[in-house]
Amino acid sequence: MGPIGVPELLLILLIVLVLFGAKKIPELAKGLGSGLKEFRKASKELDDTAKSASEVDKETSIDDKNSQ
Protein backbone atom coordinates (compact mmCIF):
# COMPACT_ATOMS: atom_id res chain seq x y z
CA MET A 1 0.00 0.00 0.00
CA GLY A 2 1.57 3.27 -1.15
CA PRO A 3 1.30 6.81 0.11
CA ILE A 4 -1.94 8.75 -0.08
CA GLY A 5 -2.19 10.70 -3.32
CA VAL A 6 -4.20 13.73 -4.40
CA PRO A 7 -7.29 11.77 -5.56
CA GLU A 8 -7.48 9.98 -2.22
CA LEU A 9 -7.17 13.25 -0.29
CA LEU A 10 -9.93 14.82 -2.38
CA LEU A 11 -12.17 11.85 -1.69
CA ILE A 12 -11.51 12.11 2.05
CA LEU A 13 -12.24 15.85 2.01
CA LEU A 14 -15.48 15.25 0.09
CA ILE A 15 -16.59 12.63 2.64
CA VAL A 16 -15.77 14.99 5.53
CA LEU A 17 -17.73 17.77 3.82
CA VAL A 18 -20.76 15.52 3.36
CA LEU A 19 -20.63 14.15 6.91
CA PHE A 20 -20.11 17.40 8.80
CA GLY A 21 -21.35 20.10 6.44
CA ALA A 22 -19.66 23.32 5.40
CA LYS A 23 -20.59 25.17 8.62
CA LYS A 24 -18.99 22.62 10.96
CA ILE A 25 -15.62 22.31 9.23
CA PRO A 26 -14.21 25.65 10.53
CA GLU A 27 -15.27 24.69 14.06
CA LEU A 28 -13.57 21.32 13.71
CA ALA A 29 -10.40 22.94 12.35
CA LYS A 30 -10.38 25.45 15.21
CA GLY A 31 -10.75 22.65 17.77
CA LEU A 32 -8.01 20.64 16.09
CA GLY A 33 -5.71 23.67 16.05
CA SER A 34 -6.24 24.47 19.72
CA GLY A 35 -5.73 20.83 20.64
CA LEU A 36 -2.48 20.73 18.69
CA LYS A 37 -1.35 23.97 20.35
CA GLU A 38 -2.08 22.53 23.80
CA PHE A 39 -0.22 19.31 22.92
CA ARG A 40 2.86 21.25 21.81
CA LYS A 41 2.75 23.34 25.00
CA ALA A 42 2.55 20.24 27.19
CA SER A 43 5.32 18.55 25.21
CA LYS A 44 7.59 21.57 25.63
CA GLU A 45 6.88 21.68 29.38
CA LEU A 46 7.74 17.99 29.65
CA ASP A 47 11.01 18.51 27.77
CA ASP A 48 11.89 21.47 30.01
CA THR A 49 11.15 19.43 33.12
CA ALA A 50 13.27 16.52 31.89
CA LYS A 51 16.17 18.84 31.05
CA SER A 52 16.07 20.54 34.44
CA ALA A 53 15.90 17.16 36.19
CA SER A 54 18.92 15.89 34.28
CA GLU A 55 20.84 19.06 35.16
CA VAL A 56 20.04 18.52 38.85
CA ASP A 57 21.20 14.90 38.57
CA LYS A 58 24.48 16.02 36.99
CA GLU A 59 25.04 18.61 39.72
CA THR A 60 24.28 16.04 42.42
CA SER A 61 26.71 13.51 40.94
CA ILE A 62 29.42 16.18 40.68
CA ASP A 63 28.83 17.19 44.32
CA ASP A 64 29.01 13.53 45.40
CA LYS A 65 32.33 13.06 43.58
CA ASN A 66 33.77 16.23 45.10
CA SER A 67 32.81 15.22 48.64
CA GLN A 68 34.62 11.87 48.39
pLDDT digits (tens, 9 = 90+) for 1-58: 678 899 999 999 899 888 888 888 889 889 999 999 999 999 999 999 988 888 776 7
CA dist list (Å): 17 to 9, 30, 31, 41, 53: 12, 16, 16, 30, 47
pLDDT recorded at residue 50: 86
- Please work out, in degrees rounded to the nearest 5, the angle formed at the alpha carbon of residue 25 by the alpha carbons of 20 and 29: 135
**pTM (2 d.p.):** 0.55
Spatial separation of the C-alpha atoms in residues 51 and 55, rounded to whole Å: 6
Spatial separation of the C-alpha atoms in residues 19 and 13, rounded to whole Å: 10
Domain boundaries, the chain: 22-67
DSSP category for residue 23: T
